[in-house]
Structure 1
Amino acid sequence: MTDSSSDQPGYADALRELDAILRELEGSDVDVDRLADRVTRASELITMCREKISTAQVKVEQVTTQLSAADTP
């Protein structure tokens, strides 16, 4: 896992897991007993990915603001 600050997977790992869940759910042999668990996990991963994107966006905006401020005399 790429995020050592918690037990959450990194963004790329989460996307891979989401892809695996999607393939599993699209398959013809979906295990109905696991269906709700897989959908719940997918929801958790989507939420986590959105949070990571939002955090990255804020950081990028901070850096670009700092760079712009450094360019102005």
Structure 2
Amino acid sequence: MEEILTYEDAYQELVQIAQDIENESVSVDVLAVKVKRASDLITFCQTKLKSTEAEVNKIIAQMEGSSGR
């Protein structure tokens, strides 16, 4: 079963990865895996933010269009 990732979950995981790297609690063997996961999470978050912004702008445009009638 595929995990459904939310923005909040992705953000929290990114924070944890960053803390682990800053605290040097990530071994060299795992570092590349963590950095790759962080890259994937950043891409996910950026995409989610852009789609949310587009949806909000669409709703606002519809509201403005309907109030002008």
TM-score normalised by structure 2 residue count:
0.91
- SS in structure 2 of the partner of residue 7 of structure 1: coil
Q: CA deviation at 1:8?
A: 4.2
- Greater RCO structure (CA 8 Å; 6+ sep): 2
2:18 — aligned with what?
22
1:31 aligns with 2:13: no
Q: Displacement, 1:27?
A: 1.0
TM-fit CA distance, 1:9: 1.4
The alignment-based identity, stated in percent, is: 34
1:3 is matched with which residue? none
In the alignment, the residues of structure 1 paired with residue 55 and residue 22 of structure 2 have an alpha-carbon distance, to the nearest angstrom, of 36
Asked if 1:63 corresponds to 2:56, the answer is no
TM-score, length basis structure 1: 0.87
| RMSD value, Cα | 1.2
Ranges in structure 1 where 5+ consecutive residues have no aligned partner? 1-5
Q: Any stretches of 5+ residues in structure 2 without a counterpart?
A: none
User: Where is the helix percentage greater, Structure 1 or Structure 2?
Assistant: 2
Runs ≥4 residues deviating over 3 A: none
